[in-house]
Each structure stands twice: as structure tokens, then as C-alpha cells.
Chains A and B, each alone.
Chain A
Amino acid sequence: MTALQDTTVKAPPRTLSERLVRIVGRSPVHIILGLIALVWLVPSIGLLITSFRPSADMRATGWWTVLFEPRFTLANYERVITAEDMGSAFLNSVFITIPSTLLPLVIASMAAFALAWVKFPFRDTIFLVIVAMLMVPLQIGFIPLVAAMRESGLPLLTTYGGVWLAHTAFALPFGIFLLRNFFITLPKDLVEAARIDGASNLAIFRTIIVPLSVPAIAAYGIFQFLWVWNDLLMAIIYAQDARIQPMTVEVTRLLGTFATEWSLLAAAAFLIMIVPLIVFISLQRYFVQGLLAGSVK
């Protein structure tokens, strides 16, 4: 399977003592990897356990004592969802994330198609400008865009509109870059044949390019979905009304009010994590692909 494995697992051990020698000889690797797994799992598990502990218990003892006196409750989740507004913030996260994922998906695919398969003047220059835009930090937009949105007369900062537009625009350079690089690898014969048959660009885009690019589009979609869902900064700037703020912003408010109410904070933190964890576990392959494409290309 792997280069290193092939060389270490050669002849199978014949006797028990041989097997023992091998296990002991390799145990440092297993011990170190075991420790690594603990360091990466225990902090999250501690918070998960805390989110289910009664807050009186949480104040009295550490979460690790549940091994001796397991007592669990859903009261923390109930309280943050209803009394502390994480329920409506969850819906806001959904309302912000879905359009902020679908809009860049459509707009970037279209632009990437033009840059890959339609001939027009300055096409390659435009692509290089988009490559340059990959590095423009979000902060460049904050002051001018907030000022423009405030003056536009449209309620952009108090509805989801502002945050949708900002997320969409700042997602485009990466999306166009990623998808254009995928689209140019598609077989040109298919596109040529369709053109000779008189297919329009729109038909080629819809019936050839998009169906063949589902893995790349899915990878970008998942990447963007998780990015927006997990984002705090853009929401602070462009979603200025408390009624439209997502969970990440709501949690920072909770932190201000309940700095040491760890049962509540833990429940709130896990409410943010549930959706990404489901996405990650069920679509891990696409997620890693998107990540690899984003950095190695």
C-alpha cells in the first residue's frame, strides 16, 4: 500500500518470540502515535462531556471525574438553544451559509468555463488577475464596503444581503481558479464535437462541463460551505443586526456574559460543530480533495 510499509512488513514472523520481538521493537511508534491521538482527542472530548454535565457538577469537579460519577443532562443544550438564542442563531447560520455557498458555486463555474473554453481577448490576463486576487485579504473590503452598503439606501447590513454578497465575492477568486484548472483538463474532443454539432456555449456548459466536473464542484462547494459556516469575522463586519447573526457571533456574546459557565459554552461550541462534523465525516474524501487542490495547485 505504501512505500514505507512495504519495506517494514516483510517476511511474516514465524515463532511467538519473533512476533514479540517485533512488537516490542515497534512499540515506540505505537506509543508516540497513541499519545498524539490523545492530545488531539482529549480536549474535544472534555468539552463534549462538559456540555452534557449538570452545571453544578461542572462547577464542583473536573470533567474527568465523570468516570466515577456519571451524571448527564440535556439541560445545557436546552438552555442555550431556547433561552440564549442559539436556536435562532443556528437558523441564521443556515440562512447565511446556503446562499453564500450556492451563489459562488454558480458564478465561479460560469466564469471558469469562459476562462477555460471560450476564446476572447485578454483571457489569460484576466485569469492572472484572478490568481492575484487569491491573496487579497478580507480586510481590504471592510471599510469601503461597509461605507458603501450603509450609503446605498438598501438594508444590506441589517439583512442577510450584505454578508451574502461579501462572502460570494471573496469566494470567487479561489473558486474560479480551482474550477478553471479542472475544466481545462476535460477532453477537448467532447467540446469540439459538440461545437461542430452546433451546440451553444450554454449547452456545452450544462451538458458537458458541469456533469463531468461534479467532483471538483463538490469539493469547492464543501470547502466554501464549511468556510462560511465556521466564519466569525465576515459576520461581525457585514451582519450588524443581532437578529441575523450566526452562531459564531452569538457564542462570542455568550462568552462575554458567561465567561466561566463552561456547560453552556460547551453546548454552544458543539452546536456550531455538529454540522461541520457531519459534513466532514460523510464527505471527507471531497473535503480533502478540495483542500489538496487549493494548496498544491
Chain B
Amino acid sequence: MTAESPAADTTPATGRTSTPGGGFNWAAVLFLGPAALLLTAFLIYPTVYTFFLSFNRGRGGEFSEWVGLDNWVNLFTADPNFLRLGFPPSGALWNNVLWIVFYVSLTVLLGLIIAVMTTRVRYEALLKAVVFLPQAIAATSLAIIWRFVYSPDPDTGLLNSLLGVANVGPVSLLGSPDTVNWALIAVGIWGSVGFATVILSAAIKGISSEVLEAARVDGASETQIFWRIIVPMVSLPISVVAVTLVVNVVKLFDLIFVMTAGGPGTSSRVIAYSMYFEAFPQGRFGYGAAIAMVMLLLLIPIMIFNVRRFSAERVQM
């Protein structure tokens, strides 16, 4: 993206433009100071603190009693609410896996399909705006919209009213451990497809019409064109969207908190919910710190990828 601007980036780095005499630069301190202070106090210091607290009982959020790896071992072996390996697996971490697999892939696929289909119609902008709208709305409101749709009362919930027309008895999708995660993932997809559509639509428009025309002349069907030409040609934006959605899943909280509070029981918890629940209502701060560290660890591969990409860009300039 920034390939066009190498000159602009490197020039200020030459000595010519720095303050006369070089060395210590007051301008840098003044401009960067407030940000550096806040980032150190609110991001760097807490990261170190949370790391060490994850090896501590952490009573009251303070360092109270060193417990070694207890929190970590409990988290992965003795806490079925966090992770229960077995058949079928369950727990918050497993639910995040379900979210990553189904929410990410279906959001990308639906976004791609809508992006391709809308390029052929005159009401493209309007339809994209309609699908994009949930992006602007609070997850809290989105959660209420869908609790209402899912309401088990057929005189209240649209879904059960429609099922009633088809002679299917009222179902409580959010009330059963077997369906709750799927019902939530569906809402997540509904909320994010617009994001995928907008990004992928911009990418699809970059494909030259000659390529598509040539394929049509050669007798390729629309399905073939979709899978063999469009998907490979926008694979980079697809991976960008997918990575963003994976990050969304790791940080997912508001929707779960408002729709189910992790229930019924603990069946729809995700890690961000567990972190909140263990640390704040339960007051198990050391344990909560370990969960926060798990979240950070899950994001570190993406962090490394980003840093590599940007340091490579700098060298290339």
C-alpha cells in the first residue's frame, strides 16, 4: 500500500532536516511525549504486571502469594469451563475455535458472494449500505435485536413465528447448550458480513474486465469464474479480512455478555468473557490475568506478522 511513497518516508530521516547540531531532539520529545507516557503507563506496564500476576494468587488485584504455574495448569487441565477436551470438546477456548472456523469462513464466503453479486446490479451502493449497517451499531443493540428475533414466544420472536407457520414447535435457540453457539455465531456473521463485503468489493473491482471477458469467451461458467479467477485474484484481501475477523473472535465480548452472559450454564462462554468473569465478579485476579495472557499469546503471531511486514517495508525503502 505504501509502495508509492518511499521517497516521502526516507527523506525526513536524512540529517539535513533535523534540528541543527543533531543529537537530542526536543521536538521529538514534545510531540511524542504524551503518547509515550500513556502507552507506557496503560499498555507496557500492564502487560508486564499481568504477566507476573498470572503466576500469583492476585488477591484484590495485587501480588499476594506466588503460586508458580498453578493458574496456567488449572486453566488448561482442571477448568471445564475454560477447556474440556473430550468428545465433544467444550469450554470457552473451544467455543473460540468454533467461532474462528465457522464465523470467519462463512463471513468471508458470504461477503465475497454479496460483493460479486452486487457488482451486477444498479442498486449496488444501497444494498452494500444495508448489509454494512450493523457495523455502525453497538453490539449491545445488535444483541437485543437478535434476542428479540430468537424469542421462544411465537407471538414475539419472528423466528419462532416463521417456524410455527412451517409447523415446527417453538425452539429456544439461546436456551439450549446444543444450539446456543450456532445461534450466536449466526448473529456474529450477520454483524460482520458488511465489513467483508465492502473490503472485498473494492478488491474485486480491481480485477481487469479483460481477464473476466477472456474467461467468458473461453466458455467458463460463472461458478468457474468465481472460484478459479475471482477468489485467487483477491486472495490477499481475503486473508486481510480473515485475520481481522480472527482478531474480532479473540476479543469477542459484548455480544456474548448481552445475549447469553455465557449461558445457559457456561456453554457459550468465550475467553474474553471468562477473563472478565473470573477476574471481576469472581475476584480471581491471578486466574483472570492468566486468561488475559492467553488472549495476548493468541494474538502474538499476528503481532509478529505485522511487525515483520512493516520492518520489511522500511528496509525495502
Residues of A within 8 A of B (CB): 2-8, 26, 29-30, 32-33, 36-37, 39-44, 46-47, 50, 58, 60-64, 107-108, 110-111, 113-120, 123-124, 126-128, 130-147, 150, 165-166, 168-170, 172-173, 176, 181, 184-188, 191-192, 195, 200-202, 205, 226, 229-233, 236-237, 248, 251-252, 255, 260, 262, 265-266, 268-270, 272-273, 276-277, 279-280, 284, 287-288, 291-292, 295-297
Contacts and interface: CB of A to CB of B under 8 A. Distances in A.
Given A226-B136, A296-B199, A4 B212 contact: yes
B295 A273 contact: no
Contacts of A252: 140, 257-258
Contact of A119 (B13, B133, B151, B314): B13
B75 interface: no
Top 9 closest pairs, chain A to chain B, by CB: A169-B42, A230-B138, A111-B35, A114-B31, A120-B28, A147-B61, A144-B49, A280-B136, A119-B18
A119 B205 contact: no
Given A137-B295, A187-B8, A255 B28 contact: no
B121 A33 contact: yes
A230 B140 CA distance: 8
16 contacts: A29-B117, A33-B123, A40-B131, A40-B194, A43-B145, A46-B158, A63-B158, A119-B25, A124-B314, A139-B275, A173-B43, A252-B257, A252-B258, A272-B138, A292-B202, A295-B199
Contact of A132 (B139, B149, B207, B306): B306
Contacts of B213: 7
A47 B46 contact: no
B117 A33 contact: yes
Contacts of A118: 12, 18, 25, 27-28, 31
A295 B240 contact: yes
Q: Which of A111, A140, A172, A292 has the most CB of B within 10 A?
A: A140
A29 B121 contact: yes
Contact of B306 (A134, A233, A272): A134
Q: Which of B9, B31, B137 has the most CB of A within 10 A?
A: B31
Contacts of B257: 232-233, 252
Given A8-B120, A114-B28, A124-B314, 10 more contacts: A108-B35, A111-B34, A133-B39, A137-B250, A195-B17, A230-B140, A236-B276, A251-B141, A255-B258, A272-B141
Given A119-B18, A144-B46, A292 B117 contact: no
B32 A127 contact: no
Interface in B99-149: 114, 116-121, 123-124, 127, 129-141, 144-146, 148-149
Given A136-B296, A140-B292, A232-B139, A43 B18 contact: no
